[in-house]
């Protein structure tokens, strides 16, 4: 493994996924000193290369809707700015409710979304076929639809960012595992790599599913936990499905990619923790196949091309951790996205960069601050829209 | 409608009558190799290639169900068969203009970005071109059957030479055993076998219960079968590899297995004058079978005495140490362009087919899925399970036998099956001669072959190295030049290996290409995670898998 080229960096970002690379991009654009990004694995080997590509703005908390909306704008401009086509297609997100309670939840989300100036629609069961083909709607009572939500192709977003940050002078070291920080007087002084230490005053923890482990290695008890989630892709079909479809009852979500594959998963509780090798399970293949063929019977004969798994990086309230950790000056959290890092990265990482630069941010620390779980437990808002 | 004389089905506007129990592919063969598909990006004509249900070249629509493999489907009376992904037909497809207009390929990564206002239009056009078949017609496919479960002491996966030997040994010892075979199989009195059943997924063992192994199988492509076993003998064998050259995806290029399956099942006219590429036992087989239809034998290196004897007896010209540069001909192979490795002279041999018989590769998927330790065996340039003692893998209760475990030649392959069965019953491991396995360190022929082929003057035309996804050689080389490293990243960057064949026909060679470009040993370039399922079986098959009833571990 190659050691870093310098002894000292302005900021070291741990994790070269969508969050880490976007953070490095904002820092480089702000013209700070040298920036280093390290990653223990290969490019796109974590959740940034394992997600279903959904980008939605329908959330229960207004602040998250705003981050998502800003991120959608960023993805619309991505091809022009970063040189790679991410095929961001605004085919909409269609949520399906199977009970009055679920419909009520969708309506609450819709109220928040509309208040933020987005035009979402409530659909009766008979209106749904106009938005999505081939669904068997027995049991569905209604849904909501937001046209400006969509799907993208995650890999090229990583390539575009990787090449852009490097052209801006950011150093990216792959296969370089960060093992901890050195600190004195409650301040970050450097980072430990397998090849030796590097000096820096700012470390950004953007390690996704490994970020709680990295916090722990830095002596900070984490408030996030990785949970394994599985996903599959089918053989490609000619396009027939425009939106991402999400069913509230079991968290089933699926969309049709630009290549024609159906890509999706569903919520299946796995024991928390980090299973080595991130395997798939027969249980998921069975549950997902059942759910998908029940909702779209015409997919029954379609072949499963591959199934894989990755981590959601979950927090107790469903909101990410963004900003400086109050326990260690110079240690910035940019994690806890709960499987939604890709959708929120462009806007969230601007706030991470602002925190590193000591600039004021518009984020409410009570909602997103990494210190919000410290101290005695108290009532706080929860983001319940943890699907798709 | 059933007719005693055979099966009658509709193919577009034609009626086709064939003798019963023939594959749809051989039924459509007629007097020449049919073009049933177009490639996914450039709409290049594609004719059957692998013959074993892995490649995308014979996908067809049957009774409103898309992406059926013609080589694996046996038509019934009254079936309605249509081609897909071409207009007006696979033989004459107007979209193949894309192939001609874009000799360097389409850059879907960096193209189609400007002007920004045109993006939605690009999206519409590119999206329309994606995919193979259309969504299935409503109400197609039989109602979901019910899956089944079998508990056994020892499960044997694959009943070829090694697996059959293993199952026989188990039967002789009165063991509680179960055979799983994708194809058809002779019944074995007293020992149950599941014919037409393919193992799709072998998760890591669940510690604790009496049956730590769970084998997820699919029967006849439509029914989920879960086998629980105390021990597993894997005998999944190997397959004939693909090869890269200019036009290697042209109709008429096929693997030896493909050629065997197309002619073996009563099909006629797959070829009349073929170039066989390879100088080993597989080439000798082909000479035995179709001597009169073989125009030349071309070998990457030396030719075995057996091949040279047979070729001279048949007066078939022999070209050892020769590079296969290109397949000439657009809608069908017309000639093979060759270059002598010793003299550098280039010449063409007229042929209507190129049969690839140069290299066998193992099926390692189940070992990888289970989490067994694997090792790179250099002389075969492939991964095989690491064996601790006899045939036992690094995972207790998982035994490896046959060609897929690296055993060479019929005697050693059969002996490995017997040994695996004995070990699975807890009997001592018979000594297995290391010489009976693929050599771990001896040089391999294909590495040097590709070095010469790819660094020398390159013949023009598209080098489609991943036929499922129409990925070009130049795309992988460009990704390397941009600084992307390792096969996992290159797969995600270019799409190589992400198609329906699960990388069988492109990843082994991509690994060698990257090893050369990155100047490090192939094992350091990495290996693609072997994701389930082994083959793209249907959602409905997995939906019928029985509930396990026992808590599942992290597997």
Q: What is the pLDDT of residues A116-170, one digit of tens each?
A: 999 999 999 999 999 999 999 999 999 999 999 999 999 999 999 999 999 999 9
pLDDT digits (tens, 9 = 90+) for A235-260: 999 999 999 999 999 999 999 999 99
Mean pLDDT of chain A: 94
* Best mutation target, B542, B549, B551, B552, to test chain A (most A CBs within 10 A): B542
CB-based burial, A251-284: b 16+ in 10 Å, e otherwise = bbbbbbbbbbbbbbbbbbebeeebbeebbbbbbb
Q: Taking the CA atoms of B250, B253, B258 and B262 in sequence, report the sign of the dihedral they define.
A: positive
Cβ contact A26:A350 at 8 Å: yes
Architecture of the CATH domain A1-89+150-224+315-388:
3-Layer(bba) Sandwich (3.50)
- With CB atoms and an 8 Å threshold, state whether B488 touches A271: no
Is the CB of residue B252 less than 8 Å from the CB of residue B329? yes
Higher pLDDT, B100 or A269: B100
Asked if A155 has any chain B CB less than 8 Å from its own CB, the reply is: yes
Tell me which of A277 and B350 has the higher pLDDT: B350
Residue A270, pLDDT score: 61
CA distance B491 to B504: 13
Mean pLDDT across B205-233? 92
- Which pLDDT tens digit goes with each residue over B119-170? 888 888 888 889 999 999 998 766 667 899 999 999 999 999 999 999 999 9
Contact (CB<8Å) A282/B140: no
Q: Average pLDDT in the A178-197 region?
A: 96
- Inspect the interface and report whether the beta carbons of B532 and A45 lie closer than 8 Å: no
Rounded average pLDDT over B4-11:
86
8 A C-beta contact, residue A307 and residue A280: yes
d(CA B429, CA B17): 54
Instruction: For domain B7-129, say whether CATH 3.10.20.440 is its number.
Output: yes
pLDDT in tens, B406-437: 999 999 999 999 999 999 999 998 887 778 89
Structure confidence by residue, pLDDT tens digits, A209-236: 999 999 999 999 999 999 889 999 999 9
Q: Shortest CA distance to B194 belongs to which of B202, B183, B204?
A: B183
CB-based contact B222:B541 (threshold 8 Å): yes
The answer to whether A1-89+150-224+315-388 and A90-149+227-312 have equal CATH topology is no
A contact test, residue of B214, B479, B543, B555 with most A CBs within 10 A? B543
What is the CATH code of the structural domain delimited by A90-149+227-312?
Answer: 3.30.9.10
Hey, how many other C-beta atoms are within 10 angstroms of the C-beta on A124? 10
Q: What is the structure's pLDDT at A249? A: 95
Contact B492 A237 (CB under 8 A): no
ipTM of the complex: 0.95
pLDDT confidence of B84, banded at 50, 70, 90? very high
* pLDDT mean across residues, chain B: 91
Token representation of residue B42: 């450039």
List chain A domain ranges: 1-89+150-224+315-388, 90-149+227-312
Helix axes B305-314, B281-290, angle to 10 degrees: 20
Residue A103 reports pLDDT greater than 80: yes
CA distance B350 to chain A (A): 37
pLDDT value at residue A276: 46
Domain ranges for chain B: 7-129, 148-239+361-436, 463-545
- Contacts of residue A275 in chain B, CB cutoff 8 Å? 554
Under an 8 A CB cutoff, do B542 and A259 touch?
Answer: no
Measure CB to CB from residue B109 to each of A84, A285, A298 and give the nearest one. A84
Peptide bond into B88 cis (omega under 30): yes
Domain B463-545, architecture per CATH: Orthogonal Bundle (1.10)
Cα–Cα nearest to A191, from A201, A181, A183: A181
Residues of A in contact with B126 (CB under 8 A): 87, 258
Specify the pLDDT at position B22: 83
> Cβ–Cβ of B203/A286 closer than 8 Å?
no
CA distance B549 to chain A (A): 11
How much is the pLDDT for A344? 98
DSSP assignment of B524-550, as one string?
Answer: HH-----PSPSS--BHHHHHTPPP--S
Percentage of chain A lying above the pLDDT 70 cut? 97
CATH homologous superfamily for B148-239+361-436? Answer: FAD/NAD(P)-binding domain (3.50.50.60)
């Amino acid at each position: 493994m190659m050691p870093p080229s310098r002894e000292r960096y302005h900021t070291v970002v741990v994790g070269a996924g969508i969050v880490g690379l976007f953070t490095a991009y904002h820092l480089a654009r702000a013209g700070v000193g040298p920036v280093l990004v390290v990653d223990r694995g290969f490019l796109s080997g974590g959740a940034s290369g394992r997600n279903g590509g959904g980008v939605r703005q329908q959330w229960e908390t207004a602040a998250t809707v705003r981050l998502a909306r800003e991120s959608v704008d960023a993805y619309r401009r991505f091809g022009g700015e970063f040189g790679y086509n991410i095929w961001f297609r605004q085919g909409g997100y269609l949520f399906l409710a199977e009970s009055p309670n679920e419909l009520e939840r969708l309506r609450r989300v819709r109220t928040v979304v509309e208040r933020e100036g987005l035009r979402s629609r409530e659909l009766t069961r008979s209106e749904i076929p106009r938005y999505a083909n081939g669904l068997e709607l027995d049991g569905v009572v209604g849904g909501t639809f937001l046209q400006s939500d969509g799907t993208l192709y995650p890999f090229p977003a990583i390539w575009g960012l990787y090449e852009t940050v490097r052209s801006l002078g950011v150093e990216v070291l792959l296969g370089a595992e960060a093992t901890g920080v050195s600190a004195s007087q409650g301040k970050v002084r450097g980072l430990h790599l397998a090849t030796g230490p590097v000096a820096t005053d700012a470390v950004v923890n953007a390690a996704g599913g490994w970020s709680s482990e990295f916090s722990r290695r830095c002596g900070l008890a984490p408030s996030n936990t990785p949970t394994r989630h599985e996903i599959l892709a089918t053989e490609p079909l000619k396009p027939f499905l425009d939106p991402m479809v999400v069913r509230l009852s079991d968290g089933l979500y699926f969309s049709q990619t630009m290549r024609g594959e159906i890509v999706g998963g569903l919520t299946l509780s796995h024991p928390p923790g980090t299973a080595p090798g991130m395997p798939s399970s027969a249980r998921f293949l069975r549950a997902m196949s059942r759910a998908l063929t029940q909702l779209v019977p015409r997919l029954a004969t379609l072949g499963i091309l591959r199934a894989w798994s990755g981590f959601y990086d979950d927090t107790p309230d469903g909101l990410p951790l963004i900003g400086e950790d109050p326990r260690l000056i110079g240690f910035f959290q940019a994690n806890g996205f709960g499987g939604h890092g890709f959708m929120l990265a462009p806007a969230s990482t601007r706030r991470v960069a602002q925190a590193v630069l000591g600039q004021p941010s518009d984020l409410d620390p009570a909602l997103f601050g990494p210190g919000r779980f410290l101290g005695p437990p108290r009532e706080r808002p929860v983001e319940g829209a943890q699907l798709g | 409608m059933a007719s005693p004389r055979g099966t009658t089905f509709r193919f577009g506007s034609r009626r086709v009558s064939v003798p019963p129990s023939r594959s749809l592919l051989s039924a459509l063969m007629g007097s020449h190799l049919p073009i049933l598909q177009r490639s996914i990006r450039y709409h290049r004509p594609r004719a059957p290639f692998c013959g074993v249900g892995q490649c995308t070249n014979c996908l067809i629509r049957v009774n409103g169900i898309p992406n059926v493999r013609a080589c694996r489907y046996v038509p019934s009376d009254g079936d309605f068969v249509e081609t897909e992904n071409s207009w007006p037909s696979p033989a004459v497809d107007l979209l193949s203009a894309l192939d001609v207009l874009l000799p360097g390929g389409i850059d879907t990564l960096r193209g189609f970005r400007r002007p920004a206002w045109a993006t939605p239009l690009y999206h519409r056009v590119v999206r329309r071109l994606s995919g193979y078949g259309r969504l299935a017609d409503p109400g197609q496919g039989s109602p979901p059957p019910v899956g089944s479960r079998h508990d056994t002491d020892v499960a044997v996966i694959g009943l070829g030479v090694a697996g059959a030997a293993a199952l026989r040994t188990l039967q002789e010892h009165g063991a509680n055993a179960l055979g799983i075979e994708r194809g058809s199989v002779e019944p074995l009195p007293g020992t149950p076998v599941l014919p037409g059943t393919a193992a799709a997924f072998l998760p890591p063992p669940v510690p604790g219960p009496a049956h730590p192994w769970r084998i997820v199988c699919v029967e006849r492509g439509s029914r989920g079968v879960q086998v629980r076993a105390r021990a597993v003998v894997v005998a999944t064998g190997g397959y004939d590899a693909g090869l890269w050259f200019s036009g290697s995806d042209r109709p008429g290029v096929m693997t030896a297995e493909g050629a065997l399956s197309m002619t073996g099942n009563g099909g006629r006219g797959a070829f009349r004058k073929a170039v066989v590429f390879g100088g080993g036992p597989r080439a000798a087989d082909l000479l035995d079978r179709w001597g009169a239809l073989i125009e030349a034998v071309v070998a990457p290196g030396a030719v075995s005495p057996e091949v040279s004897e047979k070729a001279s007896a048949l007066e078939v010209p022999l070209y050892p140490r020769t590079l296969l540069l290109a397949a000439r001909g657009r809608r069908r192979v017309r000639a093979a362009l060759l270059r002598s490795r010793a003299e550098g002279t280039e010449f063409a041999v007229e042929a209507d087919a190129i049969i690839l018989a140069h290299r066998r590769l193992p099926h390692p998927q189940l070992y990888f899925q289970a989490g067994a330790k694997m090792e790179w065996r250099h002389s075969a340039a492939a991964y095989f399970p690491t064996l601790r003692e006899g045939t036992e893998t690094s995972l207790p209760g998982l035994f490896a036998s046959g060609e897929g475990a690296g055993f060479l030649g019929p005697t050693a392959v059969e002996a490995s099956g017997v040994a695996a069965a004995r070990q699975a019953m807890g009997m001592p491991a018979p000594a297995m001669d290391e010489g009976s396995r693929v050599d771990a360190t001896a040089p391999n022929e294909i590495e040097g072959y590709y070095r010469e082929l790819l660094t020398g003057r390159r013949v023009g035309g598209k080098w489609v190295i991943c036929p499922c996804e129409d990925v070009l050689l130049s795309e992988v080389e460009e990704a390397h030049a941009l600084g992307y490293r390792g096969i996992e990243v290159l797969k995600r960057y270019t799409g190589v290996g992400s198609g329906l064949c699960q990388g069988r026909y492109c990843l082994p060679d991509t690994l060698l290409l990257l090893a050369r470009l990155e100047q490090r040993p192939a094992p350091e370039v990495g290996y693609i995670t072997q994701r389930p399922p082994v083959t793209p079986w249907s959602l409905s098959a997995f939906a019928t898998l029985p509930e396990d009833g026992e808590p599942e571990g992290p597997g």
